[in-house]
Amino acid sequence: MNHEELMLRAINSAKSFKYTAKPNPVVGAIIINKDNEIISEGYHQFYGHNHAEINAIESAQKQLGKKFKSFSELTLICTLEPCSHQGKTGSCAEAIVKKDIRKVIIGAIDPNPKVAGKGIKILKDNGVKVKNGLFEDLVEKQNSFFFYKHKNKKPYITVKIAASSDGKSHYDSNQRVFITSESSRKDVQKVRANYDAILTGGNTLRNDNPRMTARVNFPLNQPKKILLTNKTFNKESNFFKNGSVDIFDSNNLFKIIDFYADSDICSILVEAGPKLANAFLQTGYVDELIIYTSSNKLGKKGIDWFYKDNAIENYGFKLESSYKIDNDIKEIFKKNE
């Protein structure tokens, strides 16, 4: 395989860890000899665990003296710039230098300001030959939330709602109703699995007692949960049963969005009632809106999702795709930029 094919292999195999590595990016590393034969491969498999390069180096180490004599004969191909920071597991760039690997081929520069070129600098300062930019567009695409977050200094924010055919959210009595079909609700589980965090408000917590976990049939790092409320709530609610929860009693959404700009959360799914969903849309910081619409009406006793002057069009979204799920319609709107 040539370098291009090896990079594509690393990108492609890294994909399998999309749900377990998040909110970290997926990263693949392949170590080859002078004849471009693969000595080892490593992937960032789980959030908080070894980075791809370290896994590749550790696995190559087992071949030392068998398949090769010294690491200096080898080239490392990695989809993302090796990190410079100590982080949870130590700096990959320093580990590469320490092993005396002399050549590194990189897909994309790590946009994380903790790294952002500093990994390459460590390599170059230590005489490692670096080639950068091989299929960077693909690396960026497969880590779209991660790149988005660092470019825009805010997480990617999606608001998801389920509406009746007459645009209502729930009954004015606040009683919980399942508006959409079971298939749509299954689809929501898959949507949740993509996000780093799920945010809801006190009203939804009190009325629906939701778990807000992603119930899917594959392994994943569950989204963090975020609760916004300035009223009392029951700490025994389902919401608190699994995973970590951040609670904010402020309704300053800009502050909350800012808070996550400095964390490793790259994407937030807002699943709240009309008040909070509209408040988010009004910040102008929502990137995507997902609407599941059922064929059933709630009628006069139903509470509207959107009022006249805050209809979806007024928020500047355009319909990107639309699917039929049983008798429901799923529409994805994106910011009209």
Residue 302 β-bridge partners: 171
Residue 221 Cβ, how far from Zn ion at the closest point, in Å?
17
- Answer for which of 41, 53, 136, 208 binds ligand AOF (CB under 6 A) is 53
* Residue 199 binds which of Zn ion, ligand AOF, none (CB < 5-8 A, kind-dependent): none
The one-letter amino acid code at 255 reads K
Asked if 27 is part of the footprint of ligand AOF (rule: CB under 6 A), the reply reads: yes
Question: Cβ contacts of residue 163 below 8 Å, gap of 6+?
Answer: 169, 179, 291, 292, 293, 294, 305
Interacting residues with ligand AOF between 143 and 162 (CB under 6 A): none
DSSP notation for 47-82: TTS--HHHHHHHHHHTTBTTTBS-GGG-EEEEEEPP
Q: Phi and psi dihedrals of 30, rounded to 5?
A: -130, 130
Q: Check residue 51 for interaction with ligand AOF (CB under 6 A).
A: yes
- Contacted entry of Zn ion, ligand AOF, none for residue 44, CB cut-off 5 to 8 Å set by kind: ligand AOF
Q: Is 51 in the site for Zn ion (CB under 5 A)?
A: yes
Using the rule CB under 6 A, is 83 a contact of ligand AOF?
Answer: yes
Q: Does 11 bind ligand AOF (CB under 6 A)?
A: no
Q: Which of 53, 81, 94, 140 is catalytic?
A: 53
Which of 52, 212, 269, 290 forms a contact with ligand AOF (CB under 6 A)?
A: 52
The torsion defined by the Cα of 53, 57, 59 and 65, in degrees rounded to 10, comes to 160
User: Would you count residue 83 as binding Zn ion (CB under 5 A)?
Assistant: yes
Output the smallest distance, CB 170 to ligand AOF, in A: 38
* C-alpha dist (Å) from residue 52 to 15, 31, 77, 118: 12, 11, 10, 18
- Going by the DSSP 8-state scheme, the letter that residue 224 receives in this structure is E
- The string of DSSP letters for 78-118 reads EEEPPP-S-TTT--HHHHHHHHT--EEEEEE---STTTTTH
In sign, the C-alpha dihedral spanning 93, 95, 98, 100 is negative
**Residue 92 binds Zn ion, judged by CB under 5 A:** yes
CA angle 243, 246, 247 (to 5 degrees): 130
Q: Which stretch binds Zn ion (CB under 5 A): 59-67, 75-83, 147-155, 240-248?
A: 75-83
Site for ligand AOF in 103-122 (CB under 6 A): 110, 112, 115
Q: Would you count residue 92 as binding ligand AOF (CB under 6 A)? A: yes
Collect all residues with Cβ–Cβ distance below 8 Å to 143 and sequence separation of at least 6. 25, 26, 80
Neighbours of 174 (CB within 10 A): 13
Choice between 51 and 224, CB closer to ligand AOF: 51
The residue sitting closest to ligand AOF, measured at its beta carbon, is 87
Distance between CA atoms of residues 298 and 165, nearest Å: 8
Q: Which residues, numbered 242-271, are part of the site for ligand AOF (CB under 6 A)? A: 264
Question: At closest approach, how far in Å is the CB of 244 from Zn ion?
Answer: 23
Of 115 and 139, the one with the shorter C-beta distance to ligand AOF is 115
- Secondary structure element (H or E) that encloses residue 276, with its range: helix 274-283
Catalytic (active site) residue 53: yes
Among 46, 64, 73, 87, binds ligand AOF (CB under 6 A): 87
- Burial tier of 238 (Cβ tally within 10 Å: 0-12, 13-18, 19+): middle
Is residue 273 helix, strand or coil? coil
For residue 30, the partner it binds in ligand AOF, Zn ion, none, with Cβ less than 5 to 8 A by kind, is none
Q: Please identify, using beta-carbon distances, which residue of 50 and 180 lies nearer to ligand AOF.
A: 50
Residues 65, 111: Cα–Cα separation, whole Å: 37
Candidate ranges 77-85, 213-221, 246-254, 287-295; the one touching ligand AOF (CB under 6 A): 77-85
What is the binding site for Zn ion (CB under 5 A)? 51, 83, 92
- Which residues are catalytic, by number? 53
What is the binding site for ligand AOF (CB under 6 A)? 24-25, 27, 44, 51-53, 80, 82-83, 87-89, 92, 110, 112, 115, 264
